[in-house]
């Protein structure tokens, strides 16, 4: 049983892997549609402009972008990488930071199987020629 407080409104709700209650989820969904419609109607706009046009919070707009949900509009919107600040179109980190993070995470866990040429040490050529001298 997971009772928790909604991250957005603070209301206690039965959590099914979500961090926000169903009511807030519905509102978020509505916001998403609003933002999407706005982009379809206006084309590429900056996040503050979308915010002004839709009254959806900047934070939420960025969340939609990070989740990759606005990609279907065909308009490329960018948020900043949480690590280095580079503009990215999806997720939390840019590719470089993602690589750096996965590398530091997976270090020691996965051994790179580089194929080393195995030297056949047991197959010496027997070149002993018997000579009857």
| Number of residues in the chain | 133
CB neighbourhood size of 93 (10 A): 20
Q: CB-wise, 32 or 38, nearer to Zn ion?
A: 32
Q: CB-wise, 63 or 83, nearer to Zn ion?
A: 83
Output the smallest distance, CB 97 to Zn ion, in A: 3
**What's the start-to-end Cα distance of the chain, in Å?**
93
Is position 79 an interface residue for Zn ion (rule: CB under 5 A)? Answer: no
Q: CB-wise, 56 or 81, nearer to Zn ion?
A: 81
Is position 84 an interface residue for Zn ion (rule: CB under 5 A)? Answer: yes
Instruction: Pick the stretch among 3-11, 47-55, 69-77, 108-116 that binds Zn ion (CB under 5 A).
Output: 3-11
CB neighbourhood size of 62 (10 A): 16
Is position 6 an interface residue for Zn ion (rule: CB under 5 A)? Answer: yes
Is residue 23 within a helix (H) or strand (E), and if so which, with residue range?
helix 22-42
Is position 8 an interface residue for Zn ion (rule: CB under 5 A)? Answer: yes
Q: Among 12, 14, 58, 86, which residue interacts with Zn ion (rule: CB under 5 A)?
A: 86
Q: Which of 49, 79, 87, 43 is nearest to 62 (CA)?
A: 79
């Amino acid at each position: 049983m997971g009772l928790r407080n909604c991250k957005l409104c603070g209301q206690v709700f039965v959590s099914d892997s979500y961090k926000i209650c169903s009511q807030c989820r519905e509102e978020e969904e509505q916001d998403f549609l609003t933002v999407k419609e706005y982009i379809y109607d206006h084309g590429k706009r900056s996040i503050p402009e979308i915010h002004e046009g839709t009254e959806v919070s900047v934070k939420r707009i960025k969340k939609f972008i990070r989740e990759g949900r606005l990609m279907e509009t065909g308009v490329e919107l960018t948020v900043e990488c949480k690590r280095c600040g580079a503009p990215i179109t999806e997720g939390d980190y840019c590719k470089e930071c993602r690589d750096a993070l996965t590398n530091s995470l997976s270090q020691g866990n996965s051994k790179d199987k580089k194929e080393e040429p195995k030297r056949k040490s047991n197959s010496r050529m027997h070149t002993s020629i018997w000579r009857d001298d």
